[in-house]
Amino acid sequence: MKKITLALCAALASGAASADTILGFDATAGVWQPSYSGAVGVDDFNVDKFALDEDNITFIQAALEHPIPLVPNILVAHSKMGTTGMADLSQSVQFGDETFTAGTNVNADLDLSHTDATLYYEILDNWVNLDLGLTARQYKGNLKLTSDMQSEDIELNGVLPMAYAMARFDLPFTGWSIVAQGNGTGYKGDTLTDLTAKVRWDFAPALDFAVEAGYRSMSLKLSELDDLQSDLTIKGPYLGLNLHL
């Protein structure tokens, strides 16, 4: 992350001036186009049968870094995740408290939107960058199912604690960097991984803008967080615009 620097006098021994980081800001906004596989509901219904739309998902994240010792840096992020689909049931399936009978056309509206708040420390900060920290991820979504005669709304609301890591490798003198970023948890019977691999190109260094492209993969196995039970894999490419100061 490129930093705003301030030259400080260090005349105690050498009389030389040095630069010290006082503040760093990094923000990315973009779109993610994932596909969905796995199962939902108490009967582990295969979501492939819903033929869920591979709609663009919008996301944004912003990080603020500072030089105060022992005080962690902060990163906040939000992904607005929603998709729809429809299935013609070949057998009876229970979703929540409702049983939808065979031969029923069921419309599905799945919302997995979530917000992250992460506290982290910079372990390395040169051409190799490494951040480690903890994330609280709040889900606020649902799975809504409707047919001509029935409807069921299964909520997904709650907070998961997660480990956080980010590693970035700058390719000197090229403007290119390689980034790996991820969260993971195994908490009270719920397991989740959310991993991103991307490349970033500083196409306009004077303006502090960069573009990045990559691949994001999320594995979501929930049984205790709220009413929605799931064993899903959500993955696909994304493209973003980055600002770093």
pLDDT, tens digit (0-9, with 9 covering 90-100), for 11-43: 222 222 223 357 899 999 999 999 999 999 888
**197-209 pLDDT, tens per residue?**
999 999 888 888 9
Residue 12 lies in a domain: no
Q: How many angstroms from the chain centroid is the CA of residue 205?
A: 26
| Residues above pLDDT 70, as percent of the chain | 91
The model's pTM is 0.86
Separation of alpha carbons 193 and 183, rounded Å: 6
Residue 182 Ramachandran class (φ > 0 left, ψ -120 to 50 alpha, else beta): beta
Residue 2 lies in a domain: no
Q: For residue 236, what are the CA distances in angstroms to 53, 83, 120?
A: 13, 14, 26
Structure tokens at 165: 């890591």
Radius of gyration from C-alpha coordinates of the chain: 22
Q: Which residue has the tokens 């999320």?
A: 218
Q: Which residue has the tokens 């906040």?
A: 76
Q: What is the pLDDT of residue 2?
A: 38
Average pLDDT score over the chain = 89
3 state SS of 224: coil
Residue 165 lies in a domain: yes
> 77: domain range?
23-244
Residue 219 lies in a domain: yes
Separation of alpha carbons 97 and 80, rounded Å: 27
Residue 13 lies in a domain: no
Residue 9 lies in a domain: no
Structure tokens at 119: 């506290």
> How many domains does one find in the chain?
1
The CATH number of whichever domain residue 93 belongs to comes to 2.40.128.90
Cβ-based neighbours of 11, under 8 Å, separated by 6 or more: none
Q: How many angstroms from the chain centroid is the CA of residue 179?
A: 14
Amino acid at 207: L
